[in-house]
């Protein structure tokens, strides 16, 4: 595809490309590259440098020693990863049928469903978490319902239950959209063929639709996982101090403890976790790409 | 309408309720006549909206957010549109690498970017300035803009450009008269997405603002830490209303189906 496109361009544009190419390209690309380099790469480098500062003076890895040599911080890292895995798994299981419905419904219904799925995405994460506080809190909607039918009060806030529910809500749209867009591009004739040949609808789904849409689940899962382990507003509001994860810890070290080098080292650790995952994804995709013709 | 299993439709209805529940609850809570957030709300009134709209602690952040969102979107547009055109036209060998680099801010948790920007701003003496905040938001919004414009431009029929060029149009004329009008839906959608991303952004704004430059999400967040009354619901409802207006505009101009691709 790329080859044809560039060959096309060369045939069609001929000498113009040769002449206009360098100035136009530089003028078009230089500003954005400069801005991203200075204000994106720059802060990441400053962050890494900050993490090497030590109270004693010479630069070193002492801050990282503090993180990886302390059971509490290791536990927080473990909790962060586990939280990411649980939220991702729930999103995949809960979101898949919805993604399927979005992809396979008629034009009008599809537009409505997409609107329903995208709407929460566009409402501020602070507001959405606040909505969950209203629903899950001690005097909230769920507990009002429980009280009405004479059941005891449920503790749904300031623990992992509430944080997980709210987090799944925040990230579910990403999973649904990812699954839906994969199922949309799936060739329905394959399913029809299997049906004509006598496969039951369960079997068609299990042996054809599900395996072929796994790519969407994986893409969605990686997105949900990286967003979960990097988010802190929802956890901060619904978990307070009962549910500690790395981003909340970073925020606390920064604002409460004012320990900048330590916060920076935790930031680098979190970035390491995220990039490790993205690298694994790219490697996996590369391997799959090679396996397929 | 295609035939999907009724059980699936029941599930879809249930999940739609789950997706919309927190938003509905916030809106309903804002219109209460009572002094507390409770369910079901006690009576209907607009008093909390009145209170919020007279409260400079909410109105100033609202203006700050709107101003910041518009500024970040303008800068993003000026940066991303020429870049997208350059990337598609100049068939560079390293095009993929440049694209990956420019879209990289999407993959980094904003809290890390926020912490880095804070240290960075402190080093060059720009802490809690509008410039540092704007820079942070541009880095966050520019990938959305770039991705949307790249998507639209790559899908455009380039033969029109070639025809214009063969007929003697100068390069700037091709860009101004053919390319820009053709990619306009992408630019508008990208702009609305950029605005929403900036309008919703919390982490960078939380670390880089002070009480004068604070944005709406940050002021709601800090209000929530100490208070829990319908005022938050009212100001949140106003924020939702602004987003809905942007969404309706997006739908009118670009078609709702494209949201699926733009938000990916």
Scanning B86-125 for CB atoms below 8 A from A yields 86-87, 89-92, 98, 101-102, 104-105, 107-113, 115-120, 123
pLDDT score at B92: 77
Which residues, other chains included, contact B223 with Cβ-Cβ below 8 Å and sequence gap of 6+? B57, B231, B232
Question: What is the mean pLDDT of the segment spanning A35-51?
Answer: 93
Residue B218 or B258, more confident: B218
> For the segment B14-42, what is each residue's pLDDT rounded down to a tens digit?
999 999 999 998 888 888 887 777 767 77
Say if A12 is an interface residue toward chain B (CB within 8 Å): yes
Residues 191-210, chain B: which have Cβ within 8 Å of A?
196, 199-200, 202-203, 206-207
pLDDT at position A208, please? Answer: 86
- Helix pair angle (A160-184, A125-136), 10° resolution: 130
- The closest CB to that of B39, out of A21, A115, A140, belongs to A140
pLDDT of residue B73: 95
Of the partner residues A29, A98, A231, the one whose CB lies closest to the CB of residue B98: A29
Per-residue pLDDT band for B257 (boundaries 50, 70, 90) equals low
Confidence (pLDDT) at A8: 40
| Mean pLDDT confidence for B201-220 | 89
Q: How confident is the model at residue B264 (pLDDT cuts 50, 70, 90)?
A: very low
Say which of A38, A116, A226 has its CB closest to residue B19.
A116
d(CA A135, CA B243): 22
Q: Which residues of A touch B92 (CB under 8 A)?
A: 25
CB–CB of A119 and B112 under 8 A?
A: no
* B104/A24 Cβ within 8 A: no
pLDDT for the residue numbered B93: 77
A29 vs B87: CA distance, rounded Å: 8
Question: Residues B78-108: pLDDT tens digits?
Answer: 999 999 988 888 777 788 899 889 998 988 8
Interface of A with B in 267-286 (CB under 8 A): 267, 270-271, 274-275, 278
Written as one string, the DSSP assignment of B69-123 is HHHHHHHHHHHHHHHHHHHHHS--TTHHHHHHHHHGGGGS-HHHHHHHHHHHHHH
Query: In this model, does residue A224 exceed pLDDT 60?
Result: yes
A43: left (phi over 0), alpha (psi -120 to 50) or beta: alpha
pLDDT in tens, B171-199: 888 888 888 888 888 888 888 888 888 98
Is A52 in the B-facing interface, judged by CB distances under 8 Å?
no
Residue B215 has pLDDT above 70, yes or no: yes
| Per-chain mean pLDDT for chain A | 85
Which tokens go with A19? 């002449």
Predicted confidence at residue B263, as pLDDT, reads: 46
pLDDT at B237 over 50: yes
- Please report the pLDDT score of residue A289 as a whole number: 65
Least confident of A11-25, A241-255, B63-77: A11-25
Mutate one of A7, A9, A40 to test the B interface: name it (highest B CB count within 10 A). A40
Share of chain A above pLDDT 70, in %: 90
Whether the pLDDT of residue A9 is over 60: the answer is no
pLDDT at A11: 38
Q: Report the gap between the CA of B145 and the closest CA in chain A (Å).
A: 12
Q: Which residues of B192-213 are buried (b: 16+ CB within 10 A; e: fewer)?
A: bbbbbbbbbbbbbbbbbbeeeb
Structural contact between residues A101 and B9, judged by C-beta atoms closer than 8 angstroms: yes
Domains of chain B from N-terminus onward: 59-262 (1.10.3720.10)
Q: Are the beta carbons of B89 and A10 closer than 8 angstroms? A: no
Q: Which two tokens mark A123? A: 């409402």
pLDDT in the model for residue B258: 55
- Rounded Cα–Cα distance for residues B175 and B78 (Å): 14
Q: Does B155 touch chain A (CB under 8 A)?
A: no
Region A239-254: mean pLDDT is 89
Please tell me the distance in Å from B23's CA to the nearest CA on chain A.
6
User: What pLDDT score does A250 carry?
Assistant: 93
């Amino acid at each position: 595809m790329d080859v044809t496109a560039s060959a096309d361009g060369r045939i069609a544009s001929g000498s113009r490309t040769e002449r206009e190419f360098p100035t136009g390209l530089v003028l078009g690309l230089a500003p954005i590259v400069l801005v991203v380099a200075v204000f994106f790469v720059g802060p990441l480098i400053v962050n890494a440098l900050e993490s090497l500062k030590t109270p004693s003076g010479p630069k070193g890895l002492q801050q990282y020693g503090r993180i990886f040599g302390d059971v509490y911080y290791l536990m927080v890292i473990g909790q962060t990863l586990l939280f990411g895995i649980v939220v991702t798994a729930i999103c995949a299981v809960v979101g898949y049928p919805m993604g399927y419905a979005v992809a396979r419904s008629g034009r009008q219904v599809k537009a409505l469903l997409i609107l329903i799925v995208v709407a929460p995405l566009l409402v501020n994460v602070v507001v959405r978490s606040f909505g969950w506080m209203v629903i899950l809190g001690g005097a909230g909607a769920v507990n009002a319902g429980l009280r009405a039918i004479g059941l005891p009060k449920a503790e749904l806030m300031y623990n992992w239950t509430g944080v997980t529910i709210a987090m799944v809500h925040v990230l579910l749209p990403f999973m649904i959209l990812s699954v839906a867009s994969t199922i949309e591009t799936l060739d329905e004739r394959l399913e029809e063929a299997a049906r004509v040949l006598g496969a039951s609808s369960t079997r068609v789904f299990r042996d054809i639709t599900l395996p072929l849409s796994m790519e969407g689940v994986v893409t969605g899962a990686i997105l949900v996982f990286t967003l979960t382990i990097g988010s802190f507003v929802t956890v901060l509001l619904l978990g307070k101090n009962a549910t500690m994860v790395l981003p909340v810890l970073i925020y606390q070290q920064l604002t409460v403890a004012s320990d900048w080098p330590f916060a920076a080292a935790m930031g680098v650790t979190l970035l390491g976790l995220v990039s490790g995952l993205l690298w694994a994804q790219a490697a996996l995709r590369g391997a799959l790409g090679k396996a397929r013709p | 309408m295609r035939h999907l299993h009724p059980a699936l439709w029941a599930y879809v209805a249930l999940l739609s309720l789950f997706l919309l529940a927190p938003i509905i609850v916030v809106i309903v809570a804002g219109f209460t006549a009572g002094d507390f957030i409770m369910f079901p709300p006690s009576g209907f009134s607009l008093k909390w909206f009145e209170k919020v709209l007279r409260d400079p602690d909410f109105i100033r952040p609202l203006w700050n957010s709107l101003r910041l969102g518009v500024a970040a979107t303008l800068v993003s547009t000026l940066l991303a549109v020429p870049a997208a055109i350059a990337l598609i036209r100049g068939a560079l060998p390293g095009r993929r690498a440049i694209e990956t680099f420019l879209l990289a801010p999407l993959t980094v948790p904003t809290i890390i970017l926020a912490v880095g920007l804070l240290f960075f701003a402190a080093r060059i003496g720009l802490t809690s300035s509008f410039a540092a905040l704007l820079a942070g938001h541009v880095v966050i919004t520019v990938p959305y803009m770039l991705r949307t414009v790249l998507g639209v431009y790559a899908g455009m029929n380039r033969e029109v450009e070639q025809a214009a060029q063969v007929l003697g149009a100068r390069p700037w004329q091709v860009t101004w008269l053919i390319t820009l009008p053709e990619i306009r839906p992408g630019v508008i959608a990208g702009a609305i997405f950029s605005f929403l991303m900036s309008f919703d952004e919390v982490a960078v704004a939380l670390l880089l603002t002070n009480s004068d430059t604070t944005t709406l999400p940050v002021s709601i967040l800090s209000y929530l830490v100490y208070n829990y009354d319908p005022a938050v619901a009212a100001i949140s409802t106003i924020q939702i209303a602004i987003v809905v207006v942007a969404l309706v505009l997006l739908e009118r101009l670009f078609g709702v189906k494209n949201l699926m691709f733009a938000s990916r």
